[in-house]
Structure 1
Amino acid sequence: MEFLVNELNIHRNTASKYLNQLVDIGVLTKHKLGKDNYYLNTELFNLFTY
């Protein structure tokens, strides 16, 4: 999320909204670790791990 905030010069809430929309349509998966959320492009990740 910090990458989006910094690179797109948007507010953290806006970045979260965009990322959650990508989760909703199945592009990303959301993983909670502690109090932070991490977003993963599973299909891209699988290309690099197989």
Structure 2
Amino acid sequence: MDPSSLNAKRQRLVQHPVLEEAVPLWVLQCQHRGVIITGDIICAKAHRLA
């Protein structure tokens, strides 16, 4: 194996592109406001957005 192939990342198919964009943006907004969020809160938000 050559070194360049070790750094290659596999592309994955996105099943919910809207969530892929909306959830990280929401997390950043919460962090900016100083809101503490957990994995459970992120999952709940994703379910509401879906």
Is the TM value for this pair above 0.5?
no
Higher strand share: 1
Whose Rg is larger? Answer: 2
TM-score when normalising by structure 1: 0.33
Higher helix share: 2
Greater RCO between the two (CA within 8 Å, min separation 6)?
2
